[in-house]
Structure 1
Amino acid sequence: MRKVVILGATGSIGRQCLEVLKDQNGFSVVGLAADSRWEELLDAVVRHRPRFVAMVNPEASRCLAQALSERGCSGIQVLQGQEGVSKLAALEEADIVVHAIPGFEGLRSLLAAVQAGKTVAFAGKESLVSAGDLIARTMEVTGARLIPVDSEHSAIFQCLAGEDRGDVSGIILTASGGPFWDKSLEEMGTVGPAEALRHPTWRMGPKITVDSATFFNKALEVIEAHYLFGVDYDRVSVLVHREAIVHSMVVFKDGSVKALMSYPDMRLPISYALNYPARGQALTSQLDLAGRTLSFSQPDLLRFPCLELGYRAGRMGGTAPCFISAADEEAVRLFLSGVIPFTAIYPVLDLALSGYAPVSPSSIETLEREARRGKLKVREIVESGAWRA
């Protein structure tokens, strides 16, 4: 029986992970963690009866504990705060930790899991982007393993299985194009949050859905690929693939290309990570390519310039990826709150990164400080109106 902890259990990936586990044998959920939506977590706790649950929000933690008591669910320890989530991340009995906490908030729990030498099914890309060097150094000491859950990086991970990394000449990340691929710059100037949150292909949380619309999500994935697979930024490229059937590709030195294809369904990479190195049972119908056309095109950097930020921050190194990732979190928050238009996100981030001098990512405290600087810089730029120039 493989024992599982799920961090971010009420988010999109967390909910789909629970859906996958419902249909597969050989797993036992021993820990669940969420931020504040205790009502959503309650049903999962009652169904799976983990030994531990954690809520970041103290009031939500108290509400959950009371609700469990009223339902007669005894023997479940309710933890609270980031400390409680980190305790679950390092839970001794856990065989695999699903890390699905988006944004910088997931960094401490990811580091806790890595420091404990855990196998981590990893979906919170911002944490790796922000602390890639620190996480890599820790993994060398503890023997922890990251198995990507992102569809693109899961595809690359699977394509690299059994291959000599020295034979790899490049990685191609595919992008669906998001909801605005067919819109002009003028049209994008009038779109609102509701339109940005309607992704044509994937079921995702609000932050990553907006990032998909701006292509900043792909910028993060470029940095993520660099850290996960040890490839230089010059060897990571992006192709727009509207059909979302080819999830990414690996190019080898002999000119051959290996790709992973399936219908777009996040349950597949989740199941792969949970069952690795085996494969789980079928969760979707087999891909039928007969009569289907697959198209690929270069990304349009004039309409979607946020992609360039990933390469720029990655090449700057140090804390630059952490800074720009946190800056984007704040810019997306301001867009979703109606403070700035969609087309302001790139100029705000461009100004923030252009004036930034990275430092060495020597500790989590350094990274937290630089993340705060990134968010503060975005607020300063927005309040000054400098992005309009």
Structure 2
Amino acid sequence: MPDGGASAMPSLARKGRGAVTNPPVRYESTRTERCDDGWGTLAAEFAELPPLPTELIREKAKTALSWNDSPDIGFDRSLNPYRGCEHGCVYCYARPAHAYVGMSPGLDFETRLMFKPDLPELLEKELSKPGYVAKPVALGANTDPYQPVERTLGITRRVLEVLERFGHPVTIVTKSAGVLRDLDILARLSERNLVHVCLSVTTLDGKLARIMEPRAATPLKRLEAVAALAKADVRTGVLVAPIIPGLNDMEMERILEMSARAGAGRAGYVLLRLPLEIRGMFEAWLQEHYPDRAARVLALVRETRGGQFYDSRFGLRQTGTGPYAELIAQRFKLAMRRFGLEGRDRMGEGGLDCMQFRPPQAAPRQLELL
């Protein structure tokens, strides 16, 4: 079993990819490791690594909706067109889930993507079941519904078409300006109070964004998307997530200021979480890109998690504990007030209309006409 520590292997860093390691699948009983034979062969092998292409794997999904009863999140159901995410965010909390399908949470997560082409049809069947009660569904709660492959696969758009037809409320969180492709549907849903969209803005530093989220939209593009959505009267917010102590936490107020100027109506934040394999991957990433501040960042992370790297208790996972976490919470609250976000539309599912839900009438069968 991996212990979550930083890997001693040579870096697997590739241009355009986030992770610099590819840890083994934690459920496997055996694992293999390369070792140097003393003749420099391992170093030579890792000297010039070729680019990693994106591999698409068709998944035959059995159900469309995923259900949860977590008190930490504001929804009880979600839709995920994809497993894995090409954006490559090194800190992504969804990475460990790739082990469930026998793949590494590291580079596999961002290069070996599973897609669900039948998701819209499955969703239509599930929403048509007698007794289904509509509540806001989170689209892409696990991985981004507008990651680059959506440009060609278009599964997210087809899902939105189903939700619009059924009058079903939906929430969306994305790092992609690609959400504007579906502005026509989102605008119609917004007129019926059936949607709100949230752009995740982690940093305004373009260099940091390229290293930390290599295939996500630039920070400027995300703010432009906020502005375009707001102009179209689509309820729009910003999520400052994750806040990484010692790396991007100093940008929080500026992100909120720019988001408010762009037209965001609400905002939220999440403190960095390092469960399972993410801890070792994040440590390796820090040592690769920011060796001068790695120790400081990790020390601050531990300070916000009771001396550990992660605290899984409900109510604490998102915001952390201790003086540094409390300082971030106070800064966020004051910035919300300063930039006029306090009192505006808040994060979460509240306010969306669940009463418009109506399954489309099925075409009458021949016998019903007799």
TM-score computed with the length of structure 1 as normaliser: 0.32
Structure exhibiting the larger radius of gyration computed from Cα positions:
2
TM-score, L = length of structure 2: 0.34
Q: Which has the higher contact order (CA 8 A, sep 6+)?
A: 2
Q: Which structure shows the higher helix fraction?
A: 1
